[in-house]
Amino acid sequence: MSARAGAQLNVFLRGEMLGVIERRGPSRYRFSYAESALDDHQGDVVLSASLPVQPDAYAPARTAPFFEGLLPEGEVRAAVARSFRRSEEDGFGLLEELGAECAGAVAVLAPGVEPAPAGGGRLRPLSESELGDLIEDLPRHPLGVDARPGGVRLSLGGLQHKAVLTYEDGEFLQPLDGAPSTCLLKPDFGRFPDLVANEAFCMRVAGLAGLRVASTKVIETRTLPCLYVERFDRSQDRLSRVVRVHQEDMCQALGVLPAGKYEENGGPSVVAIVELLRRLRARYMARDINDFVYAVLVNFLLGNSDAHGKNFALLYEAGAGPRLAPLYDIVSTAVYPDVIERMAMAVGGRDEPALVDLDAWGRLAEECGFGGGIVPLIRRRAAMVLRSAERWRVKAQEDGWHRPVIDQIVDVCRERAGRLVDG
């Protein structure tokens, strides 16, 4: 364990050495690019839009948002830290323990340790009983991480309990020694009734409404329903090996720590994300800006007030540059009375859902520098989302996974869409 100041960890991207993070204090570390990266990518966005390739080391304040964004948050982070006898403030130490398998194509490893090659690492099959045990034990062992020698070492951002696994040939497996995971299982522990059906429904509505979304389905483990989520930052090469696709969330891309993910706390706003997409000048910039604003509308209509900066991401696809990643984590929070109603990102200066009307969307369009005509577009799309919600409610009933929460979501959508369509 490297607790001393000056200790280093190597940062790899797609298996290639990219740079080094160096400990500067108990909870501070800085990042610098390797000479090879400077030779090939000077000034380019390779790792993060917030960390373009430059010869000077990035100060800890500039380094932390991207790398802290690779780690879990809240109680999940605290529990993982306890299992490794680390302080939860020790981001450097947690990256040392967990960095072999992260979001995107990043690996953070101790000196002398190489990332697993394509097809490398090990996969441990899980029986139905073992899978059930793992799911039920997530509050004590978040992400399925195991601090014992040879145990599971991986990381993923967020607050929610989830198992990070690989799924092959109809079987769930645990990734070991840097093997890539391919899916998440998000169980319904009962804190929010029918949370799995809620997210599954919202994701399907967004997809039917025309947005790219992560692939999901509802499955039953031994005792708990789970949402299966296929990772969009994983793909297959010509030899059918799982390979990592680089990605970063909007907080990482804008240099915002996870704790500041809400706009009211200094986190990303709709305008800031639109400006970032313009600044990146990606091949799909116009479509991505359009889809992002549409995604904000869909989250509003479905009652998701928790659509913050970490719930939108950039995907760095080979040969295509950065583009908006498929949507994920769409959950109607409006159906749960104990959840804060205030929206994570304001629309036209309004973060109270009841105050968001066509005028607010018009102001947002002005703030983003859009041309005229957004009001008719918002009307049409609001009607489309409501139709999608009503169609998926019928489909959920036919397929046997309908829950009362779905009716509540449709009611929320109908009220908010009506406000825009008839406004």
Each residue of 369-387: pLDDT tens digit? 997 788 899 999 999 999 9
In this structure, what DSSP letter does residue 152 have? -
DSSP 148: S
Mean pLDDT of 199-206: 98
- Tokens at residue 407, please? 């009716």
pLDDT digits (tens, 9 = 90+) for 38-90: 999 999 999 999 999 999 999 999 999 999 999 999 999 999 999 999 999 99
Both tokens assigned to 298: 């869909």
Catalytic (active site) residue 177: no
Q: What is the mean pLDDT of the chain?
A: 94
Mean pLDDT of 241-267: 97
Pick the range with the lowest mean pLDDT from 4-8, 53-57, 276-280. 4-8
Instruction: Tell whether the torsion through CA atoms of 60, 62, 67 and 68 is positive or negative.
Output: positive
Indicate the Cα dihedral angle 255, 53, 311, 182, nearest 10°.
-140
Query: How far apart (Å, rounded) are the C-alpha atoms in residues 143 and 137?
Result: 10
Q: What is the pLDDT of residue 3?
A: 64
pLDDT above 90 covers what percent of the chain? 88
Q: Domain residues of the chain, as ranges?
A: 8-109, 122-230, 257-421
In angstroms, rounded to a whole number, what is the distance separating the alpha carbons of residues 163 and 143? 4
Collapse the DSSP code of 313 into the 3-class scheme (helix H, G, I; strand E, B; otherwise coil) and give the result: strand
Which residue has tokens 């692939």?
Answer: 215
Cα(164)–Cα(326) distance, rounded to whole angstroms?
A: 18
Integer CA distances (angstroms), 369 to 289, 345, 366, 381, in order: 11, 17, 5, 20
| Burial category of 61 from C-beta neighbours within 10 Å (exposed 0-12, middle 13-18, buried 19 and up) | exposed
The angle formed by the CA atoms of residues 182, 120 and 183, to the nearest 5 degrees, is 5
Query: Which pLDDT band, with edges at 50, 70 and 90, does 6 fall under?
Result: confident
Cα(first)–Cα(last) distance of the chain, in Å? 60
Alpha carbons 121 and 255: distance in angstroms, whole number: 32
What per-residue confidence (pLDDT) applies to 58? 98
How far apart, in whole angstroms, are the C-alpha atoms of residue 81 and residue 93?
Answer: 9
Q: Residue 314: which H helix or E strand, with range?
A: strand 313-317
Higher pLDDT, 27 or 320: 27
pLDDT of residue 423: 65
Q: Give the pLDDT mean for 112-125.
A: 93
Residue at 49: amino acid letter: A
Contact status, residue 378 vs residue 385, Cβ threshold 8 Å: no
Q: Does domain 257-421 have CATH number 1.10.1070?
A: yes
Task: Give pLDDT, residue 78.
Answer: 95
Q: Which pLDDT band holds residue 2 (cuts at 50, 70, 90)? A: low
Q: Which of 393, 413, 401, 343 is nearest to 194 (CA)?
A: 401
Per cent of the chain over pLDDT 70 is 99
Task: List, edge to edge, every strand of the sheet that includes 28-33.
Answer: 28-33, 16-25, 8-13, 106-109
Q: How far apart are CA 398 and CA 79, in angstroms?
A: 40
What per-residue confidence (pLDDT) applies to 319?
74
Number of other residues whose CB lies within 10 A of the CB of residue 5: 12
| Confidence (pLDDT) at 118 | 86
- Single-letter code of the amino acid located at 204: R
Q: Judge whether residue 327 has pLDDT over 80.
A: yes
Is pLDDT of 1 > 80? no
Structure tokens at 345: 């990102």
CB proximity list for 368: less than 8 A, separation 6 or greater = 270, 271, 274, 289, 293
DSSP string of 201-269?
Answer: HHHHHHHHTT--B--EEEEE-SSSEEEEEE-TTEEE-TTS-EEE-EEEEHHHHHT--GGG-SGGGT---
pLDDT above 60 for 360:
yes
230: number of Cβ within 10 Å: 14
Strand partners, 165: 183
CA distance readout (Å), 238 to 22, 47, 118, 119, 235: 36, 24, 11, 12, 10
| Single pTM value for the model | 0.96
User: Mapping DSSP to helix (H, G, I), strand (E, B) and coil, where does residue 188 land?
Assistant: coil
Helix (H) or strand (E) holding 122: strand 122-125
| pLDDT level of residue 298 (50, 70, 90 thresholds) | very high
Catalytic residue among 306, 357, 359, 422: 306
